[in-house]
Amino acid sequence: MDQVAILYHPDLINYDFGLGHPFRGDRFPRFMDLLRSKGILNRGDVDLLEPEAAGDEDLQLIHSPAYIRMVEVMAERRIPLSADTPLNPGIVRAAKLIVGSALRAGELVAEGRYRVAEVVGGGLHHAGRDYGGGFCVFNDVAICAQALMERRGLSRILIFDTDAHAGNGTMDIFYNDPHILFISIHQDPKTIYPGTGFIHQIGEGEGEGYTVNVPLPPGADDHCLEVVLQRIFLPLAGEFKPEIILRNGGSDPHFQDGLASLGFSMAGLRRIGEAVAEAASEAGCGVVDFCCSGYNPQTVAMGWLALLSGVAGFDVELEEPSEPPRAGRGIYERTLRVVEELERRLEAYWSL
Ligand SMILES: [Zn+2]
């Protein structure tokens, strides 16, 4: 199972919130152009697949029928889902394509037909069961995970959310669920949307200890990231022994992104992917990778390629737009304090 699947549909271009909005649909074909120009799509171990839209029974794995109906009606009438998330019927159709893509990717990897499947446009992690917002309509990552449990019988799924914003929707959905280990690295939610995803939020009930939030100070760079990977992500993944890893998050932790203030470089984004590949190799499982965020048109596609190249092990040259800044000592020490506090909070559940 050395093959890598890239799932892409040209109608993703309709997941577009309009002129002046940072989330534009043209970012998807531009990523495909970059893959083409870097020779990724001509590789013998890469298959380009076209997904189909998900149906209501798929969406209802996570979302309530009332929410799905509300989204449809609001889209018809062009009523925004939230201030930052306008709706129209094309967006909802594209959202269903993204969910269909996530489901197909999950099946292909669970069946062992691919070791990595890339869901282009996926990772809409701010949508919860009954709410959307933050550019997210349906939570494709959560639907993929739930389908793997209900339809494939998986019982240990690791979701690693590396978007600059905390994955509040995914966190809420699986907050009580010990079958999902949800680890989210993000910019401190005191300083950025969605304003939740704090260190003390570790799950509840049977799910206590299975939600791990790693809030990083603004400016955290690749060195800060490496500490989190070495001391939190890799040990937890090693102990949890996932049957599959779902990694989501695009280019918005990159230092040149306009919507967030983290300081990762292209090499840092690739390192995230490499750590995921390392964890997957140790667990003997495959990876579904989701990319949709990133709001600097100059860096978004390269950042997605950095992440994918790490997960898939592609030897490809990454272009950095300028010299990445180094975090000052204070930022590094704040990161260390976050990691140490997490180790203390989690020691009741994990042997960190
Ligand atoms: Zn984000």
Check if CATH label 3.40.800.20 holds for domain 4-346: yes
Provide the 10 A C-beta neighbour count for residue 150. Answer: 10
Catalytic residue among 9, 63, 125, 126: 126
Please report the pLDDT score of residue 2 as a whole number: 77
Radius of gyration (Cα) for the chain, nearest Å?
18
Going by pLDDT thresholds of 50, 70 and 90, the confidence category of residue 182 is very high
Q: Tens of pLDDT along 56-84?
A: 999 999 999 999 999 999 999 999 999 99
Q: Is 165 marked active-site?
A: no
- C-alpha to C-alpha distances, 318 to 141, 265, 309, nearest whole angstrom: 27, 10, 9
pLDDT average, residue stretch 288-295: 97
pLDDT average, residue stretch 242-268: 98
Q: Tens of pLDDT along 1-39?
A: 479 999 999 999 999 999 999 999 999 999 999 999 999
pLDDT average, residue stretch 290-306: 97
β-pair partners for 214: 185
CA of 1 to the centre of ligand 1 (A): 31
pLDDT average, residue stretch 235-245: 98
CA of 348 to the centre of ligand 1 (A): 30
Please report the pLDDT score of residue 352 as a whole number: 82
pLDDT average, residue stretch 160-180: 98
β-pair partners for 183: 160, 212
Q: Where are the domains of the chain?
A: 4-346
Average pLDDT over the chain, rounded to whole? 97
Provide the 10 A C-beta neighbour count for residue 55. Answer: 12
CA of 190 to the centre of ligand 1 (A): 15
Percentage of residues in the chain with pLDDT exceeding 70?
100
CA of 203 to the centre of ligand 1 (A): 22
- pTM, two decimals, is 0.98
Q: Who surrounds ion ligand 1 at CB < 5 A?
A: 163-165, 252, 293
Angle, CA 317 vertex, CA 314 and CA 322 arms, to 5°: 135
Query: Is residue 338 over pLDDT 60?
Result: yes
CA of 257 to the centre of ligand 1 (A): 10
Question: Could you tell me where the beta strands, DSSP code E, fall in 95-217?
Answer: 116-120, 157-161, 180-187, 211-216
Q: Tens of pLDDT along 224-233?
A: 999 999 999 9
Q: Tens of pLDDT along 102-116?
A: 999 999 999 999 999
d(CA 148, CA 153): 6
Query: Is residue 239 over pLDDT 70?
Result: yes
The token duo for 127 is 């949508």
C-alpha torsion 8→13→15→19, nearest 10: 150
CA-closest candidate to residue 7, choices 26, 38, 32, 37: 32
Residues in the chain: 352
CA of 136 to the centre of ligand 1 (A): 10
Contact in structure between 242 and 158 (CB atoms under 8 Å):
yes
Q: Tens of pLDDT along 85-103?
A: 999 999 999 999 999 999 9
Going by pLDDT thresholds of 50, 70 and 90, the confidence category of residue 51 is very high
d(CA 352, CA 221): 23
Please report the pLDDT score of residue 12 as a whole number: 97
